Amino acid sequence: MRRAVVVAVVAAVLVLATSCGGGANENEAAPTTSQPTSATTPSTRRGLLQQRQDFAHHAADAKGPKVDVYDAPDGTVVRTFENPQPSGAPLVFLVERRQSSWVHVYLPARPNGSTGWVRAADVEVRGVPYRVDVLRGAHVLRLYERDELVREFPVGIGTKDTPTPGGTFFIKELLEPANPDGDYGPYAYGLSGFSNVLSSFNGGAGVIGIHGTNEPGSVGRDVSHGCIRLRNEDIRYLAERLPLGTPVRVLA
């Protein structure tokens, strides 16, 4: 059973197709946008997480239909995010720090690493037990729980011309393609980061993702347009565990 995740079931992968190379055919057009047919939200598991205070990381879930982002506490609104997201997944941010009635968060926006302030009253802050590190040089994804290494997985990453960007990101959505044996496997996480070389890709904004593949032989190589590829059994393992808002550090 999937724990503390939100799954948007879509006829085609929505945002991730914007920068991920396909599996069987790297030149294949990205799937077309489709509305989610169902979505679920965490309940019991999230409640348990909120009761525990010993978390190294925290996420902030939007409470209302939109969240305004400010340049400073009591400052100027610099942008607004809609809730839910276009995929149907609820809006979430990674918390950088809290200050009185304000929360400083990482944003799912360009440029990579963008941050801003949101009102604490507009979000619900919860603990996140996991962290993901992607080591591009080693082609390895490391999963940590409360800062203890749990497992390692081989990954495929971007090519020299379309590299996987480095930095601190977070999981903003979990998508379930209609065809689990397709280019993106059974699940695809959308990250808050974007390609540094592709401003758009097949009609999308160049979002980076973590997903499965129908070409397991491509895992462990530089093959994608920037996304991080896992074997299908490995993305299933993560999809059962990682909540939205989980930090993802892409390292050298």
Longest dimension (CA), the chain: 52
Question: Counting every residue, how long is the chain?
Answer: 252
Indicate which residue of 57, 58, 139, 211 is catalytic: 211
Active site residue 227: yes
Answer yes or no: 20 catalytic: no
The span from the CA of 113 to the CA of 5, in Å, is 23
CA–CA distance, 45 with 21 (Å, rounded to integer): 34
Element (H, E) at 157: strand 157-158
Who contacts 48 (Cβ-Cβ below 8 Å, separation ≥6)?
A: none
The Cα–Cα gap between 138 and 156 comes to 10
Query: How many other CB atoms sit within 10 Å of the CB of residue 60?
Result: 25
**Residue pair 229/141 in contact by the 8 Å Cβ criterion:** no
Neighbours of 7 (CB within 10 A): 19
Residue 111: CB partners within 8 Å, gap ≥ 6?
194
Render the burial of 34-52: b for 16+ CB within 10 Å, e for the rest. eebeebeebeeebeebeee
Cα 143 → chain centroid: 14
Active site residue ranges: 211, 227
